[in-house]
Structure 1
Amino acid sequence: MKVTYNRQLVFWSACLGMLLFGIGLIMLGSVLPDLRIKHSLDSVEAGTLFSLLPVGIIAGSLLFGPVCDRYGYRTLLAVSAFLMFAGFEGLAFTNTAWILTASVLLFGLGGGAINGATNAVVADISVSGKGADLSILGVFFGIGALGMPLLLSLLKKSVEFEAVVAGTGVLALAAGILFAMVHFPAAKQAEGISLKQEGALFRDITLLLIAFFLFFQSSLEGLINNWTTTYLMERTAAPQEAALMGLSGSVAGMTIMRLMIGTIFRKMTARRLLFVSFGIILVALILFSLSRSVIPAAAGLFLLGAGLAAGFPTMLGLVGNRYPDLSGTAFSFVLVIGLLGNMLVNYTMGVVAENHGIKYLTWFTFVALTMLIIIATVIFERLRKTDR
């Protein structure tokens, strides 16, 4: 089949999309203090906004796969970027509660679709080393997630937060225009996806195992992102600013390691890469759990981010290899399971923290790591038997 697209242009367009998703995922938390003042939000109302973001992301993750497989990537990516533009501008300028709510849903929906579609298209255009290319893609998520809070803090005294959010919306608009102009890979299922093909996904034990690996991978990432600041403030008496810097260290560790996976460790097998990563996570969790001051805890978080870096790219690479003709739909399936894990486990952690204290955070993380090791062992054993 003749290639009708520029691989480098498609890849860097996907990286721009992932940058937007990183910004969108961290945006609400970054501007929430300003939003609470502007809109006089109480804790319940603020919590409602936070709960709407993952709803939008899950909806986008669920929709993108079948749409991309049936119609291709161009329209979905462009429309999703325009949704993020609308959401950012609404967040910046509205004084109306329902528009604020709709704005969060819009950039969540667009971001979820862009996250899934960019991963799927990079898997499609990667002839070999899918996991390595997906790791490079993931670097741009880290840049977006790290860059947004940094930009807001640098400009806080000179520029209103609305201007920064609106400027980010303009970036999303420009990305949407670019996506509409770029030639992406053609639709793989232009005639439509049959029920037989969809049923095969749900009967594939290996794919189900990958989905539940991502369930616990996403859970562990969410536990660190959502609860680390509270843990450090309560267990190490760290001030909020220091606790936030420690959390940023985990994102930095993940970003740097993904860059290394895509370059230095590009030839390492998926199995070896993951099990080395499990070792790093174990060391990081021990260091983090034993720390009684913020500096060793921050070092543990940096290592933890590095250890978590390989999970999603490696497993999505396996999915891309397994379902080259249904990559979008297969990615939708495993990503939605992963996101549900994040929501369910973090909700459970919230209940436990409320009733028994934040000290159980480390218990949750060790359980998640144990599940990752068990599931990964079974996955690679099944793949080894299949390759015989």
Structure 2
Amino acid sequence: MNNYRKNLVFTAACIGMCFFGISMITLGSVLPALTTKLALDNLQATALVTFLPLGMLVGSLVFGPIVDRFGHKALLVPSCIIVLLGMEGLSFFSSIPMLQLSIICIGFGGGILNGETNALVADISNEEEKGSRLSLLGMFYGLGALGIPTLLGVLSKHYTFETILQGIGVIMLAGIFYCIPIRFPAPKQAQGFPVKKGLGLLKESSLLLLSFILFFQSGIEGVCNNWSTLYFGQTTDIPANQALVALTCMVAGLTVARMLLVILFKKIKQETVLLCSLILTAIGFGLLTFSPGFIRAASGMVLIGAGLASTFPVILSILGSRYASLSGTAFGVALVIALIGQTLLNSLMGIASQNIGIEIYPYMMIASLIIMLFLFKRSLK
């Protein structure tokens, strides 16, 4: 029998999720300084950024079968190391090919950690605590994502971004050393991965319905991150610095809501929480319409972040219960579809803003939420 201490394993998962938050935000935070340092033009900078989602997609594709066959420890510690090496590469390398390799490492390790940590927490949690534990795990994504720009903002007056990243790397290394000696749950398919059964998941209508909810969820988050400041700049009188503050409000709203969900999931059905959250998100986007001022825009972004907070914990909790024997693979399918959704909705937003106008942004997001609501209702039948 494989004996492990649940709290120690959960802490390791939270460290991994924090690494994922760091992997998602580091490049964007240092890109202006990196562009200045290497005298990159917009095309070269854009070319660098495209390697992050590429690495994430590959990481999300490979982690599931490996986790189900070899166990969680086989990936959690190595993927943390890969993220750390990639992040340090941004501080040490000036060669474009080496920077591209570093960015692929950040995305690849982050893509693995996103699925791996969620699958791990789902596996060690009973049915009653799955939702709340996954919400608490998600909070650590927010801590990692908020921590990097905060530290860079505070310390950049005194240190270069390279020195700051190297210092953060020391802290991350301490987290890796914590994870190394911990005993993790045994592999679910230790005798060999059932390829036929794994491929059979692609035909599961329930898995696909739930995955396409994450398709739109991830797309909405991506569009919010990439288009909100541009929307405020072109449709309102909100200054650029206040537009960035409003964007930060979304991440803050999401992080705080994940803390509250730990309690809410113990008292209210997770299905009810998700339905209310989708309505809350729609209200948030409603506040962004008709040229809002800063207060209304910031309030709307807080509601959007808070409303989006429950979708991943609820959907992954349901997936973890329905596909317990191949949870890693099921999570991998769902997260790949989610990443595709983020790419496609961003592209669609670009096309729509070019042909119709950026004013379409909040309405397009509300339409996406209505589709999510319809899909979720179907998945419960």
Q: TM-score range by the shorter chain?
A: over 0.9
What is residue 221 of structure 1 aligned with on the other side? Answer: 221
Per-residue deviation at 1:3? Answer: 4.8
Matched position secondary structure for 1:68? helix
**Alignment partners' CA distance in 1, 2:312 and 2:279:** 17
Per-residue deviation at 1:163? Answer: 1.2
1:368-387 equivalences under 5 Å are 368-380=368-380, 382=381
What is residue 103 of structure 1 aligned with on the other side? Answer: 102
**Alignment partners' CA distance in 2, 1:44 and 1:76:** 34
AA aligned opposite 1:113: I
**Alignment partners' CA distance in 2, 1:310 and 1:76:** 26
Per-residue deviation at 1:351? Answer: 2.7
What is residue 254 of structure 1 aligned with on the other side? Answer: 254
What is residue 16 of structure 1 aligned with on the other side? Answer: 15
What is residue 306 of structure 1 aligned with on the other side? Answer: 306
Structure 1 unaligned residues grouped into runs of 5+: 383-388
Decide whether aligned partners of structure 1 residues 22 and 364 sit closer, same or farther in structure 2, where only a CA change above 3 A counts. Answer: same
What is residue 120 of structure 1 aligned with on the other side? Answer: 119
**Alignment partners' CA distance in 2, 1:12 and 1:291:** 43
Per-residue deviation at 1:93? Answer: 1.3
**Alignment partners' CA distance in 2, 1:367 and 1:264:** 27
**Alignment partners' CA distance in 1, 2:317 and 2:264:** 18
What is residue 172 of structure 2 aligned with on the other side? Answer: 172
**Alignment partners' CA distance in 1, 2:218 and 2:73:** 27
What is residue 68 of structure 2 aligned with on the other side? Answer: 69
Corresponding position: 1:271 with 2:271: yes
Q: Is the contact between residue 232 and residue 294 of structure 1 (CA under 8 Å) also seen in structure 2?
A: no
Matched position secondary structure for 1:168? helix
**Alignment partners' CA distance in 2, 1:46 and 1:363:** 30
Corresponding position: 1:366 with 2:366: yes
Per-residue deviation at 1:165? Answer: 1.4
Q: Is the contact between residue 2 and residue 186 of structure 2 (CA under 8 Å) also seen in structure 1?
A: no
Matched position secondary structure for 1:290? coil
| TM-score normalized with structure 2 length | 0.97
Matched position secondary structure for 1:326? helix
What is residue 316 of structure 1 aligned with on the other side? Answer: 316
**Alignment partners' CA distance in 2, 1:199 and 1:74:** 24
**Alignment partners' CA distance in 2, 1:40 and 1:350:** 27
What is residue 26 of structure 2 aligned with on the other side? Answer: 27
Q: Is the contact between residue 77 and residue 176 of structure 1 (CA under 8 Å) also seen in structure 2?
A: no
Greater CA deviation, 303-312 or 195-204? 195-204
Count of matched residue pairs:
380
Q: Is the contact between residue 139 and residue 255 of structure 2 (CA under 8 Å) also seen in structure 1?
A: yes
Q: Deviations over 1:164-199 (max 9, x none)?
A: 112223333333333322111110001122233113
Matched position secondary structure for 1:122? helix
Per-residue deviation at 1:75? Answer: 2.3
User: What value does the CA root-mean-square deviation take over the aligned residues?
Assistant: 1.3
Greater CA deviation, 347-356 or 305-314? 347-356
1:64-213 equivalences under 5 Å are 64-128=63-127, 129-213=129-213
Greater CA deviation, 129-138 or 290-299? 290-299
**Alignment partners' CA distance in 1, 2:234 and 2:362:** 13
**Alignment partners' CA distance in 2, 1:92 and 1:341:** 31
Matched position secondary structure for 2:180? helix
Per-residue deviation at 1:354? Answer: 3.5
**Alignment partners' CA distance in 2, 1:94 and 1:172:** 19
AA aligned opposite 2:306: A
Per-residue deviation at 1:237? Answer: 2.3
Q: Deviations over 1:37-92 (max 9, x none)?
A: 01111111111122111111111111111111111111211111111121011101
Per-residue deviation at 1:353? Answer: 2.4
Q: Deviations over 1:305-329 (max 9, x none)?
A: 1010010110000000011111111
AA aligned opposite 1:193: F
Q: Is the contact between residue 253 and residue 306 of structure 1 (CA under 8 Å) also seen in structure 2?
A: yes
Per-residue deviation at 1:366? Answer: 1.5
**Alignment partners' CA distance in 2, 1:278 and 1:55:** 29
Greater CA deviation, 316-325 or 278-287? 278-287
**Alignment partners' CA distance in 2, 1:344 and 1:171:** 35
**Alignment partners' CA distance in 1, 2:264 and 2:205:** 32
AA aligned opposite 1:121: L
Greater CA deviation, 313-322 or 286-295? 286-295
1:346-365 equivalences under 5 Å are 346-365=346-365
Matched position secondary structure for 2:109? helix
The percent of aligned pairs where both chains have the same amino acid is: 42
Greater CA deviation, 72-81 or 308-317? 72-81
Structure 2 unaligned residues grouped into runs of 5+: none
Matched position secondary structure for 1:237? coil
| TM-score normalized with structure 1 length | 0.95
AA aligned opposite 1:148: I
Q: Is the contact between residue 88 and residue 168 of structure 1 (CA under 8 Å) also seen in structure 2?
A: no
Q: Is the contact between residue 68 and residue 328 of structure 2 (CA under 8 Å) also seen in structure 1?
A: yes
Q: Is the contact between residue 198 and residue 326 of structure 2 (CA under 8 Å) also seen in structure 1?
A: no
AA aligned opposite 2:122: A
Runs of at least 4 residues of structure 1 off by over 6 A?
none
What is residue 294 of structure 1 aligned with on the other side? Answer: 294
AA aligned opposite 2:157: K
**Alignment partners' CA distance in 2, 1:275 and 1:101:** 41
Q: Is the contact between residue 131 and residue 265 of structure 2 (CA under 8 Å) also seen in structure 1?
A: no
Q: Is the contact between residue 217 and residue 338 of structure 1 (CA under 8 Å) also seen in structure 2?
A: yes
Q: Is the contact between residue 57 and residue 110 of structure 1 (CA under 8 Å) also seen in structure 2?
A: yes
AA aligned opposite 1:25: M
Q: Is the contact between residue 75 and residue 180 of structure 1 (CA under 8 Å) also seen in structure 2?
A: no
**Alignment partners' CA distance in 2, 1:89 and 1:252:** 26
Q: Is the contact between residue 80 and residue 176 of structure 1 (CA under 8 Å) also seen in structure 2?
A: no
